[in-house]
A and B are shown apart, each in its own frame.
Chain A
Amino acid sequence: MSKGSLRSASGPLEYLRRWPLQAWLVMVGLFLYAPLLTLMAFSFNDSKRNIVWKGFTLKYYDKVLHNDSLIAAFGNSLTIAAISTLISVILGAMAALLLWRFRFKGKAVLDGAMALPIVVPEICMGVAMLVFFAKIMPWPSGLPWPLNLGAIIISHVSFSFPFVAVVVRARLASFNRELEEAAKDLGAGEFMTIRDVLIPHMQPSLIAGALLAFTLSLDDFVITFFTSGPDTVTFPVKVYSMVRFSVTPEVNAASTILIVFTVLLTALAIRLQGAAAVAGGHVPDASSK
């Protein structure tokens, strides 16, 4: 027991109560949030030049909601994220189960190869996908929606499912093998054991992995930039082409909608899993590399 902790006011290690650290936190908070908050605030600004506050308006939201190509891009992004998340969770869970449970020749190699999509620079993966879909497996053009998004969905699954595998594998490590034995003693077959015992145990990590895959897909610009065509534009790619021209309140409004969407998704995750789990779910996967 240190003498400080006997004093109720502030222990020696309660750094959060010290003003220099508090000031630092406030500054970092400003650094992280001020740009985003001003961006959101100025989406309501009634001025084309977008610097000085001229009054409240919703007209840029109206413009965004009537911008068909932007809406289509947003729909594409959500569709790609949903489909690629579904495939990533299935493949990721399988890979996690495989690497957690089995001993086999070449396991170390496979383990290393599974980590590659996580560490390879985005630009390298982007050009690899570009070359693959240009030369080896040209994605047929003119397919009906959403099949025309196939090339983008495939690339998104390729970089998402190893992340899901990492999250699920971390969860499997805490599985009590005796439960599996018990299930088998009680007459369950292999597949039944997996379905009724293992998968329920994996469930929180499947949700966490799905959220991670969904945000990764929604967020991706570089790899999509290399795989999207003129009729398969996603939201980031569309915003990119708008930003290249100028800073307009319309982009602010579109960005605000996506930020609010992200915050809502996070809130949903917190509601489902609790703040600690949502925050904690990402710590191991960030530090395991």
Chain B
Amino acid sequence: MEQSWKRAKAIFATVLGPPLAWLLLFFLIPLAIVWVYSFGTNVGLTEIAFTGTFSNYARAIEPLYVGIFLKSVGVAGLTTLLCLIVGFPVALAITFAPDRLKAWLILLVMLPFWTNLLIRTYALIAVLRTEGYVNLSLGWLWTHASGLMTMVGLSPLTRFEPLELLHNNFAVVFGLVYVHLPFMVLPLYSALDRLDRSLLEASLDLGAGHVRTMLMVVVPLALPGIASGILITFIPALGAYLTPDLLGGPDSQMIANIIERQFKRANDWPFGAALSFLLMYMTFIAIALQAMLAKRKTEAGS
């Protein structure tokens, strides 16, 4: 199908030139400079000398930073797991919905995803803060429950203490799940949608219950889709900046927040560059793992 470039040189040059030039100049070169900086040293306020040192990477494996890396992986992993648990039934419902409803259900999942990330995060602040809507509702329930108890002759409850829902790790995970749920639902849906339904019907006919059919038939068949959903959720969650910044507390810093600080406040670009590339390598490892799993799966299948 494909044509050799030599047979239409003018067109080939026209469609190759601009995208390639843009990608090189405004993407690959900037990344390459950051990479070079990660082997440099700060001299003076704005000068960076390229010394070929590994000291930035050595500093990144100090316990403090390793701890933050591990924590970021843990938070992103937990987020992905929760998205999978929350999102799987949603994807299932969309898959088996009638056609007209299907598109609208997908739109309903996508719409928050198209809404500005900052606004969604801000909405969560208003919900979760000490005087936010969750605490307000809980306080209202508490007061009324207390009143009810006095009416039936019990002693009233103690004063309502608002829950600390914001500026902690709970808020970060809650926010990340809120933001990344559509990333999980869509690939899950497209995997489930490709399933051969007669296999499910066969399983149900042969006496397996719905839960057993899910676990023994649907999940193994949809595994590649589940794996890509996990990857698509995990990668942005790992590099999340805004959510931990706005919803987290002093101890909920993730890698991206540390990187931002090196570039904007600590003014230690070489160290920030090294951290950026470590984050990027972790992303690539995650992608490679998923690709390997997918390959093994197709080889086993054929």
Interface residues of A (CB under 8 A from B): 2-4, 12-16, 21-22, 24-25, 28-29, 31-36, 38-39, 42, 49-52, 90-92, 94-95, 97-98, 101-104, 110, 113-114, 116-117, 119-125, 127-132, 135-136, 154-155, 157-158, 161, 165, 177, 190-191, 194, 215, 218-219, 221-222, 226, 235-236, 239-240, 243-244, 247, 251-252, 255, 258-259, 262-263, 265-266, 270, 274-276, 278-280, 282-284, 286-287, 289
**Contact A119–B201 (Cβ < 8 Å):** no
Which among B63-71, B114-122, B153-161 touches the partner chain? B114-122
Choose one: A21, A154, A283; the contact of B26 (CB below 8 Å).
A154
A-B contact pairs, 10 of them (CB 8 A): A16-B96, A35-B123, A36-B123, A39-B122, A114-B19, A247-B129, A262-B116, A278-B103, A279-B104, A279-B107
Evaluate whether A117 and B27 lie within 8 angstroms (CB atoms) in the complex, with A35-B124, A221-B242, A282-B186 already known.
yes
Query: Which one of A16, A91, A127, A265 has the greatest number of beta carbons of chain B within 10 Å?
Result: A127
Interface centre among B34, B191, B232 (most CB of A within 10 A): B34
B126 close to A123 (CB less than 8 A): no
Q: In the complex, which residues of chain B have a beta carbon less than 8 angstroms from the beta carbon of A284?
A: 190
Instruction: Identify the interface centre among B16, B200, B255: most chain A CB within 10 Å of its CB.
Output: B16
What is the CB-to-nearest-CB distance from A47 to chain B, in angstroms, rounded to a whole number? Answer: 12
Q: Kindly state whether residue B37 has any CB partner on chain A within 8 Å.
A: yes
> Closest chain B residue to A105 by CB distance?
B5
Q: Is the CB of B231 within 8 A of A289?
A: yes
* Known A-B contacts A94-B19, A279-B103, A282-B110; A124 and B239 likewise in contact (beta carbons under 8 Å): yes
Q: Which of A16, A239, A278 is most buried by chain B, counting CB atoms within 10 A of its CB?
A: A16
Q: In the bound complex, what is the Cα–Cα distance between A216 and B269 (angstroms)? A: 27
Q: Are A123 and B116 in touch, CB under 8 angstroms?
A: no
Among candidates A94, A123, A161, A244, residue contacting B260 with C-beta atoms closer than 8 Å:
A123
Residue of A nearest to B205 (CB): A2
Q: Let me know if B204 is at the binding interface, CB within 8 A.
A: yes
Q: Besides the contacts A42-B126, A92-B19, A136-B30, what 20 more A-B pairs have beta carbons closer than 8 Å?
A: A24-B89, A31-B86, A32-B112, A35-B178, A39-B122, A102-B12, A117-B23, A120-B283, A122-B256, A123-B241, A128-B27, A132-B30, A161-B22, A221-B118, A239-B119, A247-B122, A259-B116, A276-B103, A283-B106, A287-B186
Residues of B within 8 A of A235 (CB): 116
Residues of A within 8 A of B90 (CB): 24-25, 28
Contact A226 B263 (CB under 8 A): yes
Across the interface, do B201 and A103 meet the contact criterion of CB distance under 8 Å? Answer: no
Given contacts A243-B246, A247-B126, contact A104 B114 (CB under 8 A): no
Query: Counting CB contacts under 8 A, is B81 at the interface?
Result: no
Is the beta-carbon distance between B283 and A39 smaller than 8 angstroms?
no
Q: Which of A101, A155, A218 has the most CB of B within 10 A?
A: A101
Contact B114 A262 (CB under 8 A): yes
**How far, in angstroms, from A51 to B133 measured CA to CA in the complex?**
7
Interface size on B, residues (CB 8 A): 104
A266 to B114: give the CA distance in the assembly, Å: 9
Q: Tell me if B197 is interfacial: C-beta within 8 Å of chain A.
A: yes
CA distance A94 to B15 in the complex (A): 5
Known: A103-B4, A155-B26, A275-B103. A124 touches B235 (CB 8 A): no
- B283 cross-chain contacts in A, Cβ below 8 A: 119-121
Measured between beta carbons, the chain B residues less than 8 angstroms from A132 are: 26, 29-30, 33
Residue B78 at the A interface, CB < 8 A? no
A residues less than 8 Å from B293 (CB atoms): none
Q: Please report the C-alpha to C-alpha distance between residue A209 and residue B255 in the assembled complex, in whole angstroms.
A: 31
B123/A255 in contact, CB under 8 A: yes
Complex CA distance for A287 and B96, rounded to whole angstroms: 19
Instruction: Assess whether A15 is in contact with B93, with CB atoms less than 8 Å apart.
Output: yes
- Cross-interface CB contact of A121 among B11, B104, B108, B238, cutoff 8 Å: B238
Contact (Cβ within 8 A) A39 B126: yes
Residues of A within 8 A of B39 (CB): none
Given the complex of chains A and B, what is the CA–CA distance between A247 and B131 in angstroms?
11
Interface residues of B in 117-153 (CB under 8 A from A): 117-127, 129, 131-133, 136
Assess whether A158 is in contact with B22, with CB atoms less than 8 Å apart.
yes
For residue B3, CB closer than 8 A to chain A, the reply is: yes
Q: Across the two chains, which residue of chain A brings its CB closest to B277?
A: A124
Cβ A35 vs Cβ B19 within 8 A: no
Contact B12–A104 (Cβ < 8 Å): yes
Contacts A36-B112, A127-B263, A128-B34; A194 near B23 (Cβ below 8 A): no
B273: nearest residue on chain A (CB-CB)? A127
- A101–B11 CA distance with the chains assembled, in angstroms: 10
Closest to A25 in B: B93
Which residues from chain A contact B1 at a C-beta distance below 8 Å? 177
Bound-state Cα–Cα, A4 to B98, Å: 16
Q: For residue B263, give the distance in angstroms from its CB to the closest CB of chain A.
A: 5
Contact of B96 among A15, A31, A130, A135 (CB under 8 A): A15
Check: B266 CB closer than 8 A to any chain A CB.
no
Structural contact, A121 and B116, CB atoms closer than 8 A: no
Cβ A215 vs Cβ B114 within 8 A? yes
A190 and B10 form a contact (CB under 8 A): yes
Contact residues, B201-224 vs A (CB, 8 A)? 201, 204-205
Chain B residues whose CB sits within 8 angstroms of the CB of A94 once the complex forms? 14-16, 18-19
Tell me, rounded to whole Å, the shortest Cβ–Cβ distance linking A208 to chain B. Answer: 13
